[in-house]
Chain A
Amino acid sequence: MAVIDLANPSRFLGFANRIIPWLGALTLVVFAFAISRAMNAPDDYQQGATVKIMYLHVPGAWLGMLGWGLMTMAALGTLVWRHPLADVAAKAAAPIGAAFTFICLVTGSLWGRPMWGTYWVWDARLTSVLVLFLLYLGVIALWRTVEDPSRAARAAAILTLVGALDLPIIKFSVDWWNTLHQPASVLRLGAPTIDPSILIPLLISALAFTLLFAVLLLAAMRNEILRRRVRTLRLLQASTAS
């Protein structure tokens, strides 16, 4: 089956039904391995055991941004091609991206208190991630407010495209401004600055979180397609009854 064939909602449902159990099982195995590696990773010479929070915080941040990146591509699919599956993907990704951004914010705060002496500072990195979380809440609220899915999709797509400006701000905030947050140490020009004994468990954790994100997104998209079918049948029921 070609990838383009999945753009048909019925074919996508068949694909999702087949792949979700296998991908879910793989996610469980990789997660168990990631937790084992994270628990057995050495302490950092400066930060001690609190470095274990990084195995949650960094994947949370990456996937929070990835979620908005996917929504941005879906927004283009909605506005340019008006493809219904693009709306479905954007709507399904919003709560998942919001949850991962929330994990990033809370774990960052819990990491910041022992390392920086404070749970929160209004510096550029922390504030721009908080803005991303608020943007997620705004998109979710928009989807819930507008009853007609196609109208809601267009409004949410515009907000998503505007909100995408926050992604480079998050990424480069530590370079553009003097922040309390450390600069990029994995995704940077040149080699990562983290020791392999800590970097490898971090990459395994990121893989586990990414697989989880993929499973949840597929499952949420399947739910959204079913929800739209329910809506269609209810409208049909109302029109035939009148």
Chain B
Amino acid sequence: MEAASHTGFIVAAYATAGAVIGGLIAWVMLDYRAQRRRLGDLEKLGLKRRSATAQSGETIGRAGT
């Protein structure tokens, strides 16, 4: 068995899997930050979902008012 000649295939397989998994983790983390930021920006405008309003007993705010 020509072990040395196969090292490249093994390294390429692990590098590809590492890159794909790293990409997935990065995508999930960056997406989480982006959604939290967007939600925070909208809530700063006084907007609340109906269910959240019902829980807190507050009224629905208007954007920019």
Contacts and interface: CB of A to CB of B under 8 A. Distances in A.
Interface of A: 10, 43, 47-50, 52-53, 56-57, 60, 95-96, 99, 102-103, 106-107, 110-111, 113-114, 212, 216, 219-220, 222-223, 226-227, 229-230, 232-234, 236-237, 240-241
Contacts of A226: 32, 35-36, 39
14 contacts: A47-B1, A50-B6, A53-B9, A60-B17, A107-B17, A110-B16, A111-B9, A212-B21, A219-B29, A219-B32, A222-B32, A226-B32, A233-B47, A241-B62
Contacts of A53: 9-10, 13
Interface size range on B against A: 35 or more
Contacts, number: 103
B39 A230 contact: yes
B5 A237 contact: no
Given A226-B32, A227-B35, A230-B42, A236 B47 contact: yes
Contacts of B42: 230, 233-234, 237
Main secondary structure of the interface of A (DSSP, over half): helix
B16 A106 contact: yes
Contacts of B28: 216, 219-220, 223
A107 B35 contact: no
Given A49-B3, A53-B10, A216-B25, A230 B35 contact: yes
